[in-house]
Structure 1
């Protein structure tokens, strides 16, 4: 898919990976980008900065909690009301906080499932919600993390949620769904990326010992900038097949075989 002229919704879009993805998509001529989050200050500042760079009203912020189906659905309804379509959903919102694991599961897994279901409902070619002749189809990219492909005992619940995201990609991305809806569902597994999620990971585990183990594990992996992940998102929009899962680590993008992360089927592209 060429992102030019398209409308994208990005959850967790005000900072970090989400904001980097919004920047890349707008650089390629997207019509609108909708940043979704529940911290109004961050969202309005991010939209303001993007509009300064790319033009008036290219980006807007919508306050919503993706653990609440009605709020998430309102984002789709309002986007279609104003912009007539949604072509891209980046399910990016997530937290690493095993101390509050119920919220972590609901956000990291529930938010992804809600997003996929809403994409099918409002974007699918078989959809009648706001589209008398069907939706445009499109793509749903789900932020799964490399820790969805390997164990990290210091953050067991976080890793479990990301394994669940991989499962959602493989199931919802199956041809049974993609042929009906015209929507590709894909997974992106970033390695360690310079975000607050990583910066505060040690403080958000079940015990201080777990936090130290998490920090030790993450410190052994290469680190990359958020801009690299934004470029990977753009690549997936253009080329990724439905149900495919991709690793972006140390600025290199790979197609990954599941479940063994070490069994990488093919090198794709470097963003170094």
Structure 2
């Protein structure tokens, strides 16, 4: 896939991994809609990107991905602004075992809804131009984690949904490649939650499990994961793939 002049939409893009994914697309001369629930941070990121890449390259939209109406408007605004949608990166995610219903809503339910909205705009068999969807899963999609069972469940769900929808796209000739990006620990705000009792709740006593995994796999910088994301988007041979990336082992694809 040629990224120059393509249109991408990245959720949770005001900081951390989402910001890295958006910037990776901008470096390839794509246009990007950056979406985040935090208007203040989003405006700062938009201003930063304007200075580096030009104001016409990005649009910021405030959106709570757990609101179906806001999510639908996000896609409509994207297509209205740029005339099409080529790339969706579902990055918005949280880790909160105390408010586990919200964790499921953000990490899994909203992601599924965003995929279905993208299909409406992108499916070749229904007048779209096709494209690429990357769903951000996690190394937790393959591991057990006593300190974060609900977060782990959502990431297992993201991987299963991604692989199944990718198969549907292939069988239905949607023209959309759908892949899962499964990074290990990344130097973002979510990493800080692994040592907070108010986040882990009753599972705080198992926090040392997270520290064990960190020691084993290391911590990635967002820009490194951003480069891996670009590989998933550009490689037209990948559909239903699960790309794992860790500091200690680099990029590996899971063999199912």
After TM superposition, the score normalised by the length of structure 2 is 0.93
**Aligned: 1:194 with 2:192:** no
- The answer to whether the 8 Å contact 1:91/1:143 transfers is yes
Per-residue deviation, 1:119: 0.9
> Secondary structure, in 3 states, of the residue corresponding to 1:5?
coil
> Secondary structure, in 3 states, of the residue corresponding to 2:124?
coil
User: Which residue number corresponds to residue 252 of structure 1?
Assistant: 250
Match of 2:175 among 173, 182, 188: 182
User: Which residue number corresponds to residue 26 of structure 2?
Assistant: 26
- The answer to whether the 8 Å contact 1:123/1:135 transfers is yes
Alpha-carbon distance in 2 for matches of 1:67, 1:212: 31
User: Which residue number corresponds to residue 156 of structure 1?
Assistant: 149
**Aligned: 1:63 with 2:62:** yes
More helix by share: 2
User: Which residue number corresponds to residue 34 of structure 2?
Assistant: 35
Alpha-carbon distance in 2 for matches of 1:220, 1:209: 20
| Structure 1, 203-212 or 57-66: larger mean CA deviation | 203-212
| Deviation digits for residues 91-141 of structure 1 (CA, Å, limit 9, x no counterpart) | 0000111111000001101121011101111111133xxxxxx11110110
Alpha-carbon distance in 2 for matches of 1:20, 1:100: 27
- The answer to whether the 8 Å contact 1:152/1:217 transfers is no
Aligned positions of 1:217-256 closer than 5 A:
217-239=213-235, 241-250=238-247, 252-256=250-254
**Aligned: 1:205 with 2:200:** yes
Aligned pair count reads 250
Alpha-carbon distance in 2 for matches of 1:202, 1:126: 47
Alpha-carbon distance in 1 for matches of 2:156, 2:96: 16
- The answer to whether the 8 Å contact 2:26/2:53 transfers is yes
What is the alpha-carbon root mean square deviation over aligned residues? 1.4
Aligned positions of 1:127-138 closer than 5 A:
127=126, 134-138=127-131
Listed as ranges, the gaps of 5+ residues in structure 2 are none
| Deviation digits for residues 19-66 of structure 1 (CA, Å, limit 9, x no counterpart) | 111111111111x20011110011111111011101122111101111
Q: 1:230 to 1:246 in 2, by over 3 A?
A: same
Alpha-carbon distance in 2 for matches of 1:201, 1:94: 14
- The answer to whether the 8 Å contact 1:2/1:237 transfers is no
After TM superposition, the score normalised by the length of structure 1 is 0.88
> Secondary structure, in 3 states, of the residue corresponding to 1:257?
coil
- The answer to whether the 8 Å contact 1:109/1:161 transfers is yes
Alpha-carbon distance in 1 for matches of 2:207, 2:105: 21
User: Which residue number corresponds to residue 16 of structure 2?
Assistant: 16
Alpha-carbon distance in 2 for matches of 1:210, 1:40: 34
